[in-house]
Amino acid sequence: KAGVTQTPRYLIKTRGQQVTLSCSPISGHRSVSWYQQTPGQGLQFLFEYFSETQRNKGNFPGRFSGRQFSNSRSEMNVSTLELGDSALYLCASSRAGPNEKLFFGSGTQLSVL
Amino acid sequence: GESVGLHLPTLSVQEGDNSIINCAYSNSASDYFIWYKQESGKGPQFIIDIRSNMDKRQGQRVTVLLNKTVKHLSLQIAATQPGDSAVYFCAENSGYSTLTFGKGTMLLVSP
């Protein structure tokens, strides 16, 4: 069974640009969540999608958005990039219910110059 | 323990020793807890989980202990191996697929 797949693996952007990251969950998993990881703040929850609907949202500005497609694949978008957005962005998938194990992809390393 | 910026608490052990990694969680209402292992360049890897109606759970070479009275989790790794070297995170479930992570502990295993 394939794991969570994230593309691209690395991205370099400049301030003010926007970026779209992609995530394919484990087959059969209907929930996809996104996390930001930085050395200073650690792992922080961005948002979670289930059945194409955002079910939970973390404390991030509106520049961070996402969506989920009918096949459970998800994308996240960051607009008007800032230097502080440089981070490892991790996608995790799980079955639909509460208290389900989250399985993470390897992440997309975003560098904003 | 607390981490500041790039500095994670570090536990250094010899191969074959038992390791204990500790974690304090914040929300007394949390009912599900997970330990993850993260190696350099990879995403967090699930190790073991425990629900709040339990105080101990064992896996292969790993044991998680939960003390709800003091909001404390620990991960015990038996016969630690060099391949166990990684950063370990505890996480508490704050809702559907919404995890709040601890700052992490780096485990260094010397052969």
Angle at A11 between CA A8 and CA A13, to 5 degrees: 145
**Residue A56 and residue B103: Cβ atoms within 8 Å?**
no
Report which DSSP code applies to B87: E
Pairwise pLDDT comparison (B97 vs A35), residue with the higher score: A35
Alpha helices in A1-113 (DSSP H): none
DSSP letter for A100, please: P
Find residue B110's DSSP bridge partners.
Answer: B14
Q: How confident is the model at residue B7 (pLDDT cuts 50, 70, 90)?
A: low
Confidence of residue B93 (pLDDT cuts 50, 70, 90): confident
pLDDT band of residue B33 (cuts 50, 70, 90) is very high
Suggest the residue from A31, A44, A86, A99 to mutate for an interface test with chain B (most B CBs closer than 10 A).
Answer: A99
Judging contacts by C-beta atoms under 8 Å, the chain A residues touching residue B95 are 56, 98
Q: Other C-beta atoms within 10 Å of A46: how many?
A: 21
